[in-house]
Amino acid sequence: MICQVCGEREATFHFQEMTNGQVKELHLCEICAQKKGLGQTFFMPSFSLSDLMAGLTELEVPLSEEASVTCSHCGLSYGDIKRKGKIGCGLCYQELEEYLTPLLERIQGKVRHSGKVPKKGKVEDQKERRIYELRKELEILVRKEEYERAAKLRDEIRRLEREK
């Protein structure tokens, strides 16, 4: 098998990744694998092909429009982001939301964050942090089989979630 990068040398590094029942394969020669920072370590490389291939090119947005709206902090347009596959800064998520939302939904699904929340977040985040901490406590109580206290805590979490 010939190396996928240089197309010249024999591939000796073979990597396989499967997501949703679909296989992605990478075959590289030793030199190209080295260049990519891979190579014949017996360990799995700590990178993901999906990350490398998270191609942003599939989204059909007219080019002129992609280039005209830019983020006021980093100055990037969605066109720039698409080319590199990397978002510019935190503010891009707000100012280029119209373009980033379909991209994020395609990769992650139509969902909202429900994980950890920073302790020092803005006022509106603080309730989420409180819920996050209560959930952690709840898990500990359930593990200790303290069901009565766990039930009370669960009610408290539900109450907070309704208020959101």
Partner 1 sequence: MILQEMANSASQWSRADGPEAEIVFSCRVRLARNLEGFTFPPWAHDSVLKDVSDKVLNAVKRSHYLKNSRLIKMSELSSTERRFLLERHLISPEFSSGGPHRFLITEKREMISLMVNEEDHLRLQSILSGLQLMDAWRLTDKIDDELEQNLDYAFLPQWGYLTSCPTNTGTGMRASCMLHLPALAVTHKIDELMKNISKLGLVARGLYGEGTKSQGDFFQISNQVTLGSREEEVVDHVESVTRQVVGQEKKARDILLRRDGIQLRDQMGRAYGTLVSAYLLRSEEAISLLSKLRLGVSLNLFPQLNVQVLNELFFMITPAQLQVKEGKEMAPLDRDELRAKVIRQRLGKLK
State the residues that interact with partner 1 by CB under 8 A.
1, 12, 14-22, 34, 36-51, 54, 56, 73-74, 76, 84-90, 93-94, 100, 103-104, 107-109, 111-121, 124-125, 128, 135-136, 139
Residue 83 or 149 having the CB closest to partner 1:
83
Residue 61 or 117 having the CB closest to partner 1:
117
150 binds Zn ion (CB under 5 A): no
Q: Which of 68, 100, 98, 106 is nearest to 87 (CA)?
A: 100
Dist CA 95 CA 142 (whole Å): 42
Dist CA 26 CA 33 (whole Å): 10
* Contact residue for Zn ion among 59, 89, 107, 151 (CB under 5 A): 89
- 27, 11 Cβ separation under 8 angstroms: yes
Look at residue 152 and give its three-state secondary structure. helix
Q: Which long-range contacts (CB under 8 A, 24 or more apart) does 58-61 make?
A: 58/106, 59/99, 59/102, 59/103, 59/106, 61/99
Look at residue 18 and give its three-state secondary structure. strand
The item of partner 1, Zn ion, none sharing an interface with residue 3, based on CB under 5 to 8 Å by kind, is Zn ion
6 binds Zn ion (CB under 5 A): yes
32 binds Zn ion (CB under 5 A): yes
**Considering the complex, what minimum distance in angstroms separates the CB of residue 50 from Zn ion?**
22
Q: For residue 56, give Cα distances in angstroms to 70, 79, 123.
A: 17, 10, 34
Touching Zn ion, residues 40-79 (CB under 5 A): 71, 73-74
Q: Which residues bind Zn ion (CB under 5 A)?
A: 3, 5-6, 9, 29, 32, 71, 73-74, 88-89, 91-92
